[in-house]
């Protein structure tokens, strides 16, 4: 990655990558620069063998206020072709996060509005402060959540997504948990402990198995199993349980020892 202007990216000794939004002066709203840097960061970290999981976080009053309104205004003033290219870059960023092969965890310390809700919906796991608020706020500005819409529907379902988009209501963290937008809400001073527990749980699992899990659930979707999907599920487990990582997992269990990926001896 080139020198970053809107993010801070680091990888610790455990292989936990942190991508931190660094535009606190504008409530961590994203503009064209942050969109490009987030896209590149998730694509690059997703390819790195030493990365086990990726944490998306920010500091300050807001997790992410969505799109920077000055950027949106600039984009709307462009000709149709340039406006479309700008929107396509935003869509590519969302897809890069959602399709990242490594587990992604959003640490949400403050409010998430508009595209900030989209960032949450695109991550695998979301842990938030219990004082955070969430709003799909695009309609307040006369637009709609088109780019984040598919991720919102995946997270909360069609009817809840419609309600959130039509009303632009602000959800308390407890309601966001109840409808599936986030997974856990804890006091702000317990947020990092909750994050560490989740990262520890991920670290105890086979790294290749985690990537296979993500690919598998993407492939089967949410629909009732068809003959094709039933065959795919059998083919997948038969392939994965024959891998060296799976054999090590079974051997470690029966030997009553930690697996190699947990002790760093793989």
Give, in order, the Cα–Cα distances in Å from 259 to each of 156, 168, 204, 262, 265: 35, 47, 8, 6, 9
Q: Which helix (H) or strand (E) holds 11?
A: strand 7-11
Task: Identify whether 138 is a catalytic site residue.
Answer: yes
d(CA 171, CA 177): 10
Mean pLDDT confidence for 198-214: 97
| pLDDT in the model for residue 229 | 67
Domains annotated on the chain, with CATH: 7-202 (3.90.226.10), 206-263 (1.10.12)
DSSP readout, 48-88?
Answer: -TT--EEEEEE-SSEEE-SB-HHHHHHHHHS-HHHHHHHHH
Give the mean pLDDT of 226-248. 80
pLDDT in tens, 169-192: 999 999 999 999 999 999 999 999
Q: Which tens digit of pLDDT belongs to each residue from 102-135? A: 999 999 999 999 999 999 999 999 999 999 999 9
Q: Which two structure tokens, joined as six digits, stand for 162?
A: 């419609």
Q: What is the mean pLDDT of residues 6-22?
A: 98
Q: Name the band, by pLDDT with cuts 50, 70 and 90, for residue 40.
A: very high
Contacts of 32 (CB under 8 A, 6+ apart): 71, 86, 89
Tokens of 25: 């002066």
Note whether 50 and 15 are within 8 A (CB). yes
Confidence of residue 1 (pLDDT cuts 50, 70, 90): low
Angle at 105 between CA 102 and CA 111, to 5 degrees: 145
The reported pLDDT for the residue numbered 224 is: 61
Range of lowest pLDDT (14-18, 28-32, 151-155, 228-232):
228-232
Place of tokens 């702000």: 188
Provide, rounded to the nearest whole percent, the portion of the chain with pLDDT above 70. 96
Residue pointed to by tokens 């059998």:
234
Reported as a single tens digit per residue, the pLDDT across 46-92 is 999 999 999 999 988 999 999 888 887 777 777 888 888 888 999 99
End-to-end CA separation in angstroms for the chain: 27
**Rounded Cα gap, residues 73 and 154, in angstroms:** 29
pLDDT (tens digit per residue) in 217-230: 998 876 566 777 66
- Residue 263 — very low, low, confident or very high, per pLDDT cuts 50/70/90? confident
Catalytic residue from among 138, 196, 201, 245: 138
């Amino acid at each position: 990655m080139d020198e970053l202007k809107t993010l801070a990216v680091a990888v610790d000794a455990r292989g936990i990558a942190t991508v931190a939004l660094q535009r606190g002066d504008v409530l961590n709203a994203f503009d064209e620069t942050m969109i490009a840097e987030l896209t590149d960061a998730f694509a690059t970290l997703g390819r790195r063998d030493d990365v086990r999981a990726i944490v998306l976080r920010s500091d300050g009053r807001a997790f992410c206020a969505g799109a920077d309104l000055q950027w949106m205004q600039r984009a709307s003033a462009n000709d149709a072709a340039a406006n479309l290219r700008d929107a396509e870059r935003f869509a590519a960023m969302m897809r890069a996060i959602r399709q990242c092969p490594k587990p992604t965890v959003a640490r949400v310390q403050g409010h998430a509005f508009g595209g900030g809700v989209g960032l949450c919906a695109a991550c695998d796991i979301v842990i938030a402060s219990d004082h955070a608020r969430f709003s799909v706020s695009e309609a307040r500005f006369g637009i709609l959540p088109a780019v984040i819409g598919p991720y919102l529907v995946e997270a909360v379902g069609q009817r809840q997504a419609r309600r959130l988009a039509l009303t632009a209501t602000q959800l308390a963290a407890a309601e966001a948990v109840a409808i599936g937008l986030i997974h856990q809400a804890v006091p702000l001073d317990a947020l990092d402990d909750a994050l560490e527990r989740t990262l520890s749980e991920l670290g105890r699992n086979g790294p290749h198995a985690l990537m296979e899990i993500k690919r598998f659930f993407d492939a089967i979707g949410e629909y009732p199993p068809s003959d094709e999907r039933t065959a795919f599920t059998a083919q997948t487990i038969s392939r994965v349980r024959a891998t060296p990582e799976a054999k090590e997992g079974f051997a470690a269990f029966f030997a009553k020892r930690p697996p190699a990926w947990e002790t760093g001896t793989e």
